């Protein structure tokens, strides 16, 4: 716009430059809001990841408990020569529960990995938006300086 009309009124030119600076500042504010939103999403994902981590730890601990009980039943069966059907049924039940708890823990760990990947993606997008906002703010400062320079010519 400046190159097209060098004889333009300096006041109008200064006002147009300030308008452009204000619009760029508005874009920077919108970009900042988007970046902040992405950071909030990442924080919520982190909370979710921590919940899954706790659930995985609890499932692992319960699975270990059932595995230990299964080993106790095996030892008792070995001492009795494998004659107790009750202990055998208990051992099978404990093995199944231990395997189920292990599968649950694995499922929670997979969810944690998926959430971590989503968190990295969201945080990288937030970082990209922060850089974009910073560039726009630098542009705003340059436009404001240009407007002040033009006004000083009046």
C-alpha span between 8 and 2 (Å, rounded): 8
> What pLDDT is stored for residue 76 in this prediction?
86
> What pLDDT is stored for residue 39 in this prediction?
97
At 126, list the tokens. 């937030």
Tens digits of residue pLDDT in 58-90: 999 999 999 999 999 888 888 888 678 888 889
Parts of the chain with a pLDDT under 70: 1-7, 82
SS3 5: coil
In terms of Cα–Cα distance, which of 129, 153, 123 is closest to 17?
A: 153
At 11, list the tokens. 């006041």
**From residue 56, how far is each of 48, 122, 145 by CA, in Å?**
12, 24, 57
Asked if residues 111 and 105 have their Cβ atoms less than 8 Å apart, the reply is no
> What pLDDT is stored for residue 98 in this prediction?
95
């Amino acid at each position: 716009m400046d190159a097209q009309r060098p004889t333009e009124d300096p006041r109008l030119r200064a006002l147009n430059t300030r308008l452009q600076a204000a619009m760029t500042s508005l874009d920077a504010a919108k970009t900042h809001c988007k970046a902040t939103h992405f950071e909030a999403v990442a924080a919520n994902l982190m909370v979710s990841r921590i919940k899954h981590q706790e659930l995985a730890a609890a499932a692992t601990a319960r699975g270990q408990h059932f595995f230990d009980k299964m080993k106790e039943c095996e030892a008792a069966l070995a001492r009795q020569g494998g004659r107790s059907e009750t202990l055998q049924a208990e051992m099978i039940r404990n093995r199944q529960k231990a395997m189920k708890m292990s599968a649950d823990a694995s499922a929670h760990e997979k969810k944690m990995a998926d959430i971590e990947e989503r968190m990295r993606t969201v945080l990288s997008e937030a970082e990209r938006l922060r850089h974009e906002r910073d560039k726009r703010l630098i542009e705003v400062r340059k436009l404001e300086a240009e407007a002040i320079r033009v006004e000083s010519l009046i």
